[in-house]
Amino acid sequence: MDILNKLEWRYAVKKFDPAKKLSAAQLDKLIAATRLSASSYGLQPYKILIVENPAVREQLKAASNNQSQITDASQLIVFARYTDLNESHVDDYMNNIAETRNIVSEQLAGFSGMTKGVVTRLGAEGTAVWSAKQVYLALGTLLTAAAVENVDACPMEGFDAAKYDEILGLKDKGLTAVVIAGVGFRAADDVMQHAKKVRKPMAELVETI
């Protein structure tokens, strides 16, 4: 199938088959693809947590309106943003660029200064919003990669972020949960897999200027 057929095939799974698990290779591929997601300045101001522990997932389910996807999916992916995005994050990123591209850090002075200026100018509230936007870019990449690989997924916002932070110990790591996604394989009796996909007509959604 081509990409359009794959995206027609995907939907937000309401019921996973808990007996079907991703292979290690399948999971690695999804996470590798998500790592390659677009991110403003390339900064990636977030962390991706793969939750597999059944006991932890039971706790998270209680903090997610008892939605079955939390425990029935093969893995639960939690996207968490950094709560105190600052110049040290930029410095770490610049060091990574220098090492990866084998260049001296002085060559990145302009880019570093610009990026630090953005982070400083946005302030705490602004960086929270900006970082969350970057998280959703990564989520979109995960969903698309899953569809391409014939893996089902369900993005979810219906959870108590504060409870997630507590259960996963995110506050101590300077993180807070933004959005989650279950990945796995749809149950044979999930009726939503047969529902026609509803989207705006192209003429209503797209305008060429």
Residue 157 pLDDT more than 80?
yes
Q: For 5-10, what is the mean pLDDT? A: 96
Q: What share of the chain is helix, strand, coil (3-state, %, to 5)?
A: 55, 15, 30
Position 146 scores a pLDDT of 98
Cross-strand bridge partners of residue 79: 48, 179
What's the CA gap between 204 and 97, in Å, rounded? 42
pLDDT band at 207 (very low <50, low <70, confident <90, very high): very high
Q: What is the mean pLDDT of residues 92-115?
A: 96
Mean pLDDT for 198-207 is 97
- Average of pLDDT values for 159-165? 98
Confidence of residue 1 (pLDDT cuts 50, 70, 90): low
pLDDT of residue 49: 98
Residues of the chain with pLDDT > 90, as a percent, come to 99
Q: Give pTM, 2 decimals.
A: 0.96
